[in-house]
Amino acid sequence: MTYIMSLFLFGLVLGLVAVASNPSPYFAALGLVAVAGLGCGVLVGYGGPFLSLVLFLIYLGGMLVVFAYSAALAAEPHPESWGSRSVAGYFLLYLVGVFAASSYFWGGWYEASWVPVDELKEFSMFRGDASGVALIYSLGGGMLVICAWVLLLALFVVLELTRGLSRGALRAV
């Protein structure tokens, strides 16, 4: 299980570097889908399947629809892909930065602490995220309203930024 979690974490870091290095919204959306999937895999491995499901449904179901709409409004005729020189240069630069930061903090990381929750089931009476689900439903109502307001605000900000000087979706193409 440790090897699978290491693979998920390595893919998560590579996906984040791919999103950060690409200026085109099309390929950045593909990187975001990969990062969301791998992040949900990490959460499932560490005992949070409900939180992983909520993240996957809300993020991929809601925010990527807004992202696809705003990317369609800001369409480029020739977007830069991951194979172009500038994007590959940024990718290598960010990857070197990640490896430099990880080598700096390497002494505090131990592989033995990467044990998923389900491997400790002999010592536990509950599932890893059972108390978290109850906490979301009992005390998380206010935070849910705040998060919905922030998502609505982000929708209007993205749509206003991609609108430009035209009249929005009713513009002449």
Higher-confidence residue of 29 and 103: namely 103
% of the chain residues with pLDDT over 70: 68
Phi, psi angles (nearest 5°) of residue 10? -65, -45
Q: What is the pLDDT of residue 93?
A: 92
Q: Is pLDDT of 167 > 60?
A: no
Distance CA 151, CA 72 (A): 19
Q: What is the pLDDT of residues 118-156, one digit of tens each?
A: 566 666 666 656 666 666 667 777 877 887 888 888 878
Helices (H), 22-63: 25-45, 49-58
In the predicted model, what is the mean pLDDT of the chain?
75
DSSP category for residue 15: H
Higher-confidence residue of 40 and 114: namely 40
Sorted by sequence, the CB contacts under 8 Å of residue 16 that are 6+ apart come out as 31, 35
Q: Is pLDDT of 96 > 90?
A: yes
CA 154 to chain centre: 16
Q: What is the pLDDT of residue 97?
A: 92
Architecture per CATH, 2-170: Up-down Bundle (1.20)
* Domain regions of the chain by residue span: 2-170
Which of the four pLDDT bands, split at 50, 70 and 90, describes residue 18?
A: confident
Q: What is the pLDDT of residues 49-64, one digit of tens each?
A: 777 888 888 777 776 7
Q: What is the pLDDT of residue 156?
A: 81
Q: Exposed (0-12), middle (13-18) or buried (19+): which is 128, by Cβ within 10 Å?
A: buried
Q: What is the pLDDT of residue 110?
A: 61
Is the pTM above the cut of 0.75?
no
